[in-house]
Amino acid sequence: MTTLPQSTTTKLGLVIDMDTCVGCQACVTACKGWNDQGYGAPLSDQDPYGANPSGTFLNRVHSYQITPEDAAPIIVNLPRSCLHCEDAPCVTVCPTGASYKRAEDGIVLVNEDACIGCGLCAWACPYGAREMDADAGVMKKCTLCVDRIYNENLPEIDREPACVRACPTGARHFGDFADPDSKVSLLSAERGGIALMPELGTRPVNLYLPPRPKDMMTASPLAPLLDIRASGFAGWLDKILGKIG
């Protein structure tokens, strides 16, 4: 459990382990459930029990089948949500100031009362992390469960994002990247945490952990990919994200 430091230099975010994510959608369900009753208006759904259901989700998990050379096809799961970029283009383009980045902890949020639903932030985000709520007519995005992580009415163990709390395999980790001794900082340093599309200069706070070395991992579903260098893995992630962004 992460205890949030009281500092103006706090930089909160997630580390997501690509080795241990099994694509179970528990994080998606937990996020939807919490945000239906938490920060902002509930996340709407359209025709949820009909032939063409759709809805607003702040966290999604995409699964892909890939075939490494001389290896059997495998499934790779890519969790995707707002990366809370240090230089967030969604904030820059917002004409009303509805999109903003908090100075105290680095979380990027949307003031729904000021949002006019113009869609410029979704156009500017290279990661496809914004969703227009069809009923509310405003943009929605991951809040890092800001109404949860600081909620003193919750037991301390629950004061972390719902997606992290719900993950059955421990693939998601929450903490302060400004603290070099935090869990997320140590994990990122040890495993070579990857920032998606670094050439864009957005400086995402959330990072992905690439496959472990062979001597650390023998039973992973990503075992055929263990010879791929971190840079190659990052390039693959960038290519996939470009298709869904």
Q: Would you place residue 223 in the very low, low, confident or very high pLDDT band (cuts 50, 70, 90)?
A: very low
Percent of the chain with pLDDT over 90: 71
pLDDT of residue 4: 47
pLDDT of residue 36: 87
Is the pLDDT at 76 greater than 80, yes or no? yes
Please compute Rg for the chain using Cα positions: 18
- The SS3 call for residue 89 is helix
∠223-225-227 over CA atoms, to 5°? 105
Q: pLDDT per residue over 163-212, tens digit each?
A: 999 999 999 999 999 999 999 999 999 999 999 999 999 999 999 998 77
Q: Would you place residue 231 in the very low, low, confident or very high pLDDT band (cuts 50, 70, 90)?
A: very low
pLDDT of residue 217: 47
Contact (Cβ atoms closer than 8 angstroms) between residue 143 and residue 161: no
Contact (Cβ atoms closer than 8 angstroms) between residue 109 and residue 139: no
Domains detected in the chain:
12-244 (3.30.70.20)
